[in-house]
Amino acid sequence: MGSSGQTSGGESSISSNIPDDVATKIYLKHIDEFMQEYAALNIDIAEKLKKAGDANLYYEDKPEVQSAILDLLHTHSSFLNKSYDGRATWININKNYLSQEVRLKLDEMEIKRTEIQNNYFSKVEKLSEGRSVDASIKEFYTLTNAFRNSFNKELNLAEQEVHKNLRLTTAYKNPKVKQVVNSDLIIVKRIFNEQDSYLKKRVEEILYSKKK
C-alpha cells in the first residue's frame, strides 16, 4: 500500500514492496470481506445480549437459579471474546500491510493480550475451588469485568497503532478505507458495546440487589 523507499514529499513509506495499485486492490478485498463478517457477528451478538438483558432476570441462592446465572455469565464471556477476536483479526489483517517495525510492535501487543486472556481463562477454570457457588458467581462477574477493562484497553492501543500507520499509506486515500476506519468500525463496536454494557448492568443489579 505504498512502494518502498520514499513517497512524494520525502515521507518514508511504511508498507511492503507490492506496487500501490495491486496492494490497495488486495487490501480493499480483505477489509470488505472482514467488515461483512465482523458486522454480522457483532450485530447478532448484540441482539442476543439485548434479549438476555431484557429477560426477567433474578437471583436466589437456589441451585437451579445459580446454574442459570452461571450459564448466562459463561455465554456473555464467550460473546465478549468472540467480539474481541474480531477486533484482533482487523489488527492482524492490517499488520500484514505495514512495515516490519510496526509489525513487531503489534506482535508485542498481541503477546500482552494473549497473556491477559490466558490469565482470565485460567482463573475462570479455577472458580469453584474453595468457594461457594454464590461466591464463584460473583467472582466470575468480577473477573470478567477486570478482563474486559484490561483487554479492551490493549485492543484500543493496538487499533490506534494500526490506524496511525494506515493513515500514512496510499490505500488510506481510498474513500472506502477511510469509511471503514473512521465510521464502520466505530459503529459496529458501539453496537456491541451498548448491549454488552446493558447486560453487564442487569447482572450487577440482580447479583448485588440485596445490598441496596
pTM (2 d.p.): 0.86
Predicted pLDDT at 128: 82
98 inside domain: yes
Instruction: Provide the phi-psi class of 62: left if phi over 0, else alpha when psi is between -120 and 50, else beta.
Output: beta
Predicted pLDDT at 12: 36
15 inside domain: yes
Predicted pLDDT at 185: 97
Per-residue pLDDT tens for 37-67?
999 999 999 999 999 999 999 999 899 999 9
1 inside domain: no
166 inside domain: yes
3 inside domain: no
Per-residue pLDDT tens for 4-25?
333 333 333 334 444 466 678 8
Report DSSP letters for 105-143, one per residue: HHHHHHHHHHHHHHHHHHHHHTTTTT--HHHHHHHHHHH
**How many whole angstroms from its chain centre is CA 184?**
15
Per-residue pLDDT tens for 106-120?
999 999 999 999 999
Predicted pLDDT at 13: 39
Domain of residue 167, residue span:
8-52+70-211
12 inside domain: yes
38 inside domain: yes
Q: Which of 35, 36, 9, 5 is nearest to 19 (CA)?
A: 5
Per-residue pLDDT tens for 135-158?
999 999 999 999 999 999 999 999
Domain count of the fold of the chain: 1
Per-residue pLDDT tens for 179-209?
999 999 999 999 999 999 999 999 999 999 8
**Whole-angstrom Cα distance, residue 133 to residue 142?**
14
134 inside domain: yes
